[in-house]
Amino acid sequence: MGKWIILLITLCLFTGLLLSNSYMQIPWISIVASLALFLESISLAGLLWKQKKREEQLCRQIEKEKEEGEQKVKECRRQSVEEQTQFYSVFSHSIRMPLSIIKGYAELLESGAIDREDQNQYLEKIIQKSQSIVDFFPKIQEHLEIMELSTEAKRSVNLVKTIQECIQEIQKSMCFEEIRLQVLFTEPDIRVEMNENRANEIVYNLLENAYKYMQRAGAVTFRLWRKEGKVHMIVRDDGMGICPEEAEHIFEKNYQGSNQEGNHRGGRGYGLYQVQQIVLAHHGDISATSDVGKGMEIHIIFPEAAEPTVAVGA
């Protein structure tokens, strides 16, 4: 860049000298022309200098963003390694002890040191420990599902708008003529940080659950508000409800309440389980309360998203 500036100034001065020789009879013309060319060269040199500075600033900004991006990648990799290490640690700890006990009992039985009347007791213990291992694998699957959900791309989602759009869509495709759907909110823009498709999935599953199990005309109401950096969402229906003891289990995979009997709309007991997994993956909390004949209320709490953002994450 500096060489071009020097060349430009030299060219302008040389041109000025030529003009001076050509118009020797009119000295003031050559002086004015030379001065004009000199000033023009200074102006061009200034523009080139500013352009150079802008390019240098842009390069520094690109380099900074590159370093920040690399740092984020390193941090994500570090967190991934930590999560994997933690997962393998929990897995090995949960499996190693039951296997050691099974191995010990099996070796005792093989050695013949156990009396025949006590063998059944040891066999029962082997079966119990084996079942504990079998029961542990669904928990592993749940953990992996949460990890997968946690790595999805996220953005700031207006939960009020999402619910309103989902209600409009579901009213077109399902028979809600006997069920009134409404959304109550303290402000029209309440945001959470999550994958937009997952936000839709939460709302659709909650609506589908109410649709299938209300079993009578009534209302499903969404209430949303913000409080102390948290977003609260309560979904309330005035359907048949279930007993409080059953409400504690509705987020378990494949669980179906007692009012499933005779319900012509069916269900696999997977929707609310999936809702819970999404909520937990987004550092939220979910709970349910119900009673027979009094409907059900599901309370979800999310961390609040500050401002609209572009997608981030994987």
Q: How far apart are CA 88 and CA 54, in angstroms?
A: 50
Q: Which amino acid is at 102?
A: I
Q: What 3 state SS string does 33-45 have?
A: HHHHHHHHHHHHH
Task: Indicate the Cα dihedral angle 150, 195, 141, 235, nearest 10°.
Answer: 120
pLDDT tens-digit profile, the chain (314 residues): 555 555 555 555 555 555 555 444 455 555 666 666 667 667 777 777 888 888 888 888 888 888 888 887 788 777 767 767 766 766 676 677 677 778 888 888 888 777 877 788 878 888 887 887 777 777 666 666 666 666 677 889 999 999 998 888 777 555 566 788 899 999 999 999 988 888 988 998 898 888 777 777 788 999 999 999 999 999 999 888 888 888 888 888 777 766 554 444 445 567 888 899 889 888 899 999 988 888 899 999 999 987 654 444 44
pTM (predicted TM-score): 0.54
